Amino acid sequence: MAGRTARLVLLAGAAALASGSQGDREPVYRDCVHRCEERNCSGGALRHFRSRQPIYMSLTGWTCQDDCKYECMWVTVGLYLKEGHRVPQFHGKWPFSRFLFFQEPASAMASFLNGLASLVMLCRYHTSVPASSPMYPTCVAFAWKMDYFCASTVILHSVYLCCVRTVGLQHPAVASAFRALLLLMLTAHVSYLSLVHFDYGYNLAANVAIGLVNVVWWLAWCLRNRRRLPHVRKCMVVVLLLQGLSLLELLDFPPLFWVLDAHAIWHISTIPVHVLFFSFLEDDSLYLLKESEAKFKLD
């Protein structure tokens, strides 16, 4: 037991210098996975594993090796807790208690609820806002990206939405050029992370930078129009809330009850924010439609 404790302490001190995560570098974990795979993941044992594996697990890609890693993760976590050490990460993630085939059930449920909220608000937008409204196509495109694409895409599209609202309605060519620039930036960003090197620090810095542009641009427009357009107060609340809630993503702690981590809490917290922002988009689109119809009558 003393030897195991010494290995844990040494690994904890070397965490910043080695590749991978502390948990999956632990010899106890590696030995456990190796023995589990030898015992269960070949020949007749593998056939037996597949015969008793629930169909929803096999259909979603859970393999015998994955199951070994999951079981051995908890063996290692139990050892760390018994020896009074901080819970380690495994393969870049905190340990989560699996539910059905969901490795991170709280995040999955929160993501589903976010998507459901976006769908409900999109249907409401379709019903209440005519397609002739100047911002209709841009708002609908934003709705589909709210939860089914990465955070970088959502932030960039929010910046583009702001550009269209503040500049593009009067100067469409400027909005088109800006859209091309944002698409180029997104392609370069995703290509670098996917094909060159996944740098968490760079990804975080890039998202923070574009997030600040998004916040400053929207807030500046809202403050300039708050008296003329009362509904922009909704947008101000949304921008400030999102900026505050984004700090949750910077927190790093083991999941509460092995289910709820900072990312899941962020997902859950943004559900009412999405609803409020759609409400702003609806009010603003109807205002723009009314304004354009008034100008048409004058002409």
My answer on whether 261 and 124 are in the same domain is yes
Q: What is the mean pLDDT of the chain?
A: 79
Residue 65, amino acid:
Q
In a domain, 273, yes or no: yes
My answer on whether 273 and 137 are in the same domain is yes
Is-contact 10 27, C-beta < 8 A?
A: no
Q: Which of 47, 93, 54, 48 is nearest to 70 (CA)?
A: 93
pLDDT, tens digit, for every residue of 128-146? 888 888 878 877 776 556 5
In a domain, 184, yes or no: yes
How is 84-132 classified by DSSP, letter by letter?
TPPPPPBTTB-----BTTBSSHHHHHHHHHHHHHHHHHHHHHHHHS-TT
Q: What is the pLDDT of residue 198?
A: 67
Asked if the model's pLDDT at residue 101 lies above 80, the reply is no
Residues 5-20 have a mean pLDDT of 40
DSSP 3-state of 256: strand
DSSP 3-state of 14: coil
Asked if the model's pLDDT at residue 19 lies above 70, the reply is no
* Helix%, strand%, coil% for the chain, nearest 5: 75, 0, 20
**CA geometry: angle at 73 spanning 70 and 76, to 5°?**
155
In a domain, 13, yes or no: no
Tally the domains of the chain: 2
Q: What is the pLDDT of residue 161?
A: 87
Q: Which of 165, 95, 171 is nearest to 135 (CA)?
A: 165
Which token pair is 286?
């109807």
Asked if the model's pLDDT at residue 284 lies above 80, the reply is yes
In a domain, 5, yes or no: no
My answer on whether 32 and 176 are in the same domain is no
61 phi-psi bin (left φ>0, alpha ψ -120 to 50, beta other): left
User: Which domain covers residue 53, as residue numbers?
Assistant: 21-83
What is the H or E stretch that residue 183 is in? helix 172-191
How is 54-73 classified by DSSP, letter by letter?
-HHHHHTT--HHHHHHHHHH
In a domain, 35, yes or no: yes
My answer on whether 218 and 126 are in the same domain is yes
My answer on whether 274 and 157 are in the same domain is yes
My answer on whether 212 and 284 are in the same domain is yes
My answer on whether 133 and 220 are in the same domain is yes
My answer on whether 41 and 121 are in the same domain is no
d(CA 72, CA 102): 18
In a domain, 182, yes or no: yes
My answer on whether 122 and 241 are in the same domain is yes
My answer on whether 67 and 109 are in the same domain is no
d(CA 92, CA 200): 11
Q: Which of 95, 91, 77, 93 is nearest to 20 (CA)?
A: 91
Distance of CA 35 to the CA centre of its chain: 35
pLDDT, tens digit, for every residue of 219-229? 999 999 988 88
Give the pTM.
0.67
My answer on whether 120 and 171 are in the same domain is yes
182 phi-psi bin (left φ>0, alpha ψ -120 to 50, beta other): alpha
Phi (first) and psi of residue 59, to 5 degrees: -65, -25
Of 10-14, 192-196, 247-251, 260-264, give the lowest mean pLDDT range: 10-14
My answer on whether 170 and 253 are in the same domain is yes
Is-contact 243 215, C-beta < 8 A?
A: yes
Which token pair is 195?
């094909």
In a domain, 11, yes or no: no
Q: How confident is the model at residue 288 (pLDDT cuts 50, 70, 90)?
A: confident
Q: What is the pLDDT of residue 79?
A: 86
* Helix pair angle (262-298, 136-148), 10° resolution: 170
In a domain, 96, yes or no: no
Q: Which of 169, 142, 163, 164 is nearest to 153 (CA)?
A: 142
